[in-house]
Structure formats: C-alpha cells, structure tokens
Amino acid sequence: MKEQLKNHILKFVSPSESELKAFLNATTFKTIKNKEYLVKEGQYCNYQYFILNGCFRSFFVNKKGVEKVVNFGIEDWWLTDLDSFINQKPSELNIQAAEDSQVLKISKEKLDAILEKTLVLNQYFRIIHEKVRIADQKRIQFMYSLSGEELYHVFCQHNPDFVQRVPQYMLASYLGFTPEFLSKIRGRKKT
C-alpha cells in the first residue's frame, strides 16, 4: 500500500531508489474507523498523515461550544495540525475520520532527520506546501467575494462527488454558516 505514496511523490520529484526507500520505511500504516480521532485538541501532534483512502475533517470548538470545520482531507492528501506539529505545542484542532480510513504516518523526528539531508524530499514538501497555499488563497478569495448560497453552489460544482460523502452539517460548517441555512438553500432552487 506504500505504492500509493510512492506514486504521489514521483508525480512531483525524482528521488533515487534509496532515498525513496528510506522515506517509505519511515512511515507506518494505520487503520482508523469512522468517528475516531487522529488528533485531539490539547494533544501534541507528533505525526504527519498521508491519506490512502477515506475521509477526514479537522475542526475546532469555539467559545459557544460549536464545532467549526476548517478543512477536509481525502485520498492523497497530507494532513496534520501544522502549528502543533512544527512548533511542538498542544493542538487547537481535532482531526477526525469521517469514513473508515487508512493512512500512512511519519513521526516528526524521522521526518526532520530525513529533511535534514535529502534534497528531493525538501523539494517534495515544498511543492506540497505551495499547492496548499494556492488552494487556500483561492478559498479565501471565494469567501471574500461570494454569498453563502453562491459558495455552496460553487463548492457543489467543483466537488460533486465529495458532497455526497459527508453529512450536510459538516459542509455547512466548512462553508461558514449553519446547517439550518444550508437546508434552506437546498429547499430553494428546485428548478
């Protein structure tokens, strides 16, 4: 199953066989059931996770006790609480499976050791970061220019398959409004 991560890496950089082996060997396989947590608020997040299959959401709980979904993760995405992972502080986020899932995980110590000396893997993660930053940029642009209703429709157009995979209340939270409002949006627009 590490083939999948290998293929992902080869999409972006060209490591030697030994560099690839060293990295893949530093990862370990993990199965996780729907509703279980990879990371819980308050814990130190010492791993970075590569999603083989399944689906996750990361969220935090605001002062009023409401869960706010800040991100989803699906196949071939890296997922972690970066602030906790990089700066070694307690996580403010929860990362929870939204489906039965499988991941590869790598510890901070092992990853740091590899990044200390391997050019191509620095390139790989640099490129991943670039892609995420570009995606986040687009997301912020959408949030700044569209109404809630428009946001929903654009999201459905861009991710028609994904919309089916998570409950509506998570989607509503991710898009920045309440489940009640999402329900009303869906109520309109019946041709």
- Work out whether 137 is an interface residue with a second copy (CB under 8 A): yes
What's the rounded Cα separation, in Å, for the pair 92 and 188?
36
Of 75, 104, 108, 103, the C-alpha closest to 89 is 108
Q: Which of 86, 113, 154, 156 binds a second copy (CB under 8 A)?
A: 86
- Work out whether 18 is an interface residue with a second copy (CB under 8 A): no
What's the rounded Cα separation, in Å, for the pair 98 and 40?
15
- Work out whether 83 is an interface residue with a second copy (CB under 8 A): yes
What's the rounded Cα separation, in Å, for the pair 131 and 146?
22
The answer to whether the beta carbons of residues 112 and 43 sit under 8 Å apart is no
Q: Say whether 106 sits in a helix, a strand or coil.
A: strand
Binding site for DNA (CB under 7 A): 64, 147-149, 167-169, 176-184, 186-187
Find the shortest distance in angstroms from Cβ 64 to a second copy. Answer: 9
Residues near a second copy (CB under 8 A) are 60, 62-63, 68, 70, 82-83, 86-87, 92, 115, 117-119, 122-123, 125-126, 129-130, 132-134, 136-138, 140-141, 143-145, 176
